[in-house]
Amino acid sequence: NKMATQQKIKKEVLKEGNGQTPKKGQTITVECTGFVAATGKKFWSTKDPGQQAFSFKIGLGQVIKGWDEGFASMSLGEKARLTIAWDYAYGETGFPAWGIPQRADLIFEVEVLKIQ
């Protein structure tokens, strides 16, 4: 149900990409900064010292559902702000080690660097 999915993931495009979106199973490399929506607290950024761009195979459940589905609609070079509902993120338990509370909606500022 496309409508329901869209309510779980809100995408605000900050910069248009080239129109080339990833296909399931392709590896995409992204820059990403994540915030807890309720507090605005940053919990992770690929741009922090010692961190690097993050790569994963899309559509295979290697990452949270909000990423698998959110990045599927993004094209090469696109920058966007993804707001992801808690059940498409870390769910009931959250991710305490990262300071993500239970049932936390998340905001990610992301950019697609590579699609392979």
Q: Are 12 and 80 spatial neighbours (Cβ–Cβ below 8 Å)? A: yes
- Give 7's pLDDT tier (boundaries 50, 70, 90): confident
- Give 94's pLDDT tier (boundaries 50, 70, 90): very high
The model's pLDDT over 20-77, given as tens digits with 9 standing for 90+, comes to 999 999 999 999 999 999 999 999 999 999 999 999 999 999 999 999 999 999 999 9
Residue 65's identity, in one-letter code, is K
pLDDT at 1 over 50: no
Task: Take residue 51 and report the two structure tokens written for it.
Answer: 């961190």
